[in-house]
Amino acid sequence: MTKYLEYKFSDSPEFISTFDEVPLWSASFGLLLLKHLELKPNIRVVDIGSGAGFPLLELAQRLGASSKCFGVDKWANANDRAKQKIRNYGAGNAEVIYGSADSLPFPDENIDLAVSNLGINNFEEPGRVFEECYRVLKRNGKLAITSNLNGHWKEFYNIFEETCRQLGTMDIIAKLKEQQERRGTVATISKMFTDCGFSITRRFEEKFEMKFLDGSAFLNHYFIKLGWLSSWKDIIPETEQVTVFTQLEINLNAYADDRGGLSLIVPMAFIEGQKV
């Protein structure tokens, strides 16, 4: 048990050549985005935090040759992978630009539609990103984002908190709750739009279920190790990590045994605002 605690992320061409976040996580949010976007001809689009090319490439192909889609990201190896996809797919209307979300490489009022699939979770200064989107969008241009919401994986976090109570590590519970509270609600995310001058045009909430055989499968999954493990380790003293995660894994597995598997619910939202 707990071999996953040895995981170290390696940002290398070899890693990115096999990196694929779409099946586990991004696809559900990306499909929500694509479901609700209004597709129009002859528009300029920017995907903020485009990563390895999803949903940038899918959106470019769905819009077709009359539109131009730009992906902006400062993850160099992911940009290289996205560029290779553009070449392989023959998606001549897509382009990847190395750049930061809080300083978009476009002049004022140059873009018709800005999108970000889960990007808000990774922006260091989300308010600055919203301001930049407002700047580069044309009048009546739109910003559409997807995000997971406060309350995601509550089944897991409830078991995590109970594990801490069981071990008497109550200080970890407060830090765990603080991590969860950083995720927005529809109201708090909508406020980011309106604070920057956007008018909210549409909001949709959905949820999906992630199923794992048990806690061991969950904790050893590569994307869990890549995306979440370090944040959980950061709130636990190094000398206590093996103890806490061993008990957490035992408790998750017991929960899964009682219910025929580990099912985790993820609430998500699509929110769209218009520059007025």
List pLDDT tens digits, range 144-198.
Answer: 999 999 999 999 999 999 999 999 999 999 999 999 988 899 999 999 999 999 9
198 or 23, which is more confident? Answer: 198
Check residue 273 and give its pLDDT. 98
Note the pLDDT of residue 194. 97
d(CA 30, CA 74): 20
- Residue-number span of the structural domain to which 197 is assigned: 3-275
Q: Provide the mean pLDDT of the chain.
A: 95
Instruction: Assign residue 154 the CATH number of its domain.
Output: 3.40.50.150
* 40 — pLDDT class (breaks 50, 70, 90): very high
Higher pLDDT pick, 7 / 1: 7
Quick check: 23 pLDDT over 80?
no
CB atoms inside a 10 Å sphere around CB 112 = 18
pLDDT at 19: 83
pLDDT in tens, 197-231: 999 999 999 999 999 999 999 999 999 999 999 99
The count of residues in the chain is 276
Q: How confident is the model at residue 24 (pLDDT cuts 50, 70, 90)?
A: confident
pLDDT of residue 1: 81
Q: Is 10 helix (H, G, I), strand (E, B) or coil?
A: coil
Amino acid at 74: K
The reported pLDDT for the residue numbered 54 is: 95
Record the tokens describing residue 114, joined without a space.
């800005």
Residue 46 makes CB contacts below 8 A (sequence gap 6+) with 69, 70, 71, 72, 104, 106, 111, 113, 114, 115, 136
Side-by-side strand order, sheet with 198-212: 94-98, 68-73, 44-48, 111-117, 137-148, 262-275, 198-212
* Tokens read off for 211: 């199923």
Count of the separate structural domains present in the chain:
1
Whether 20 shows a pLDDT value over 80: the answer reads no
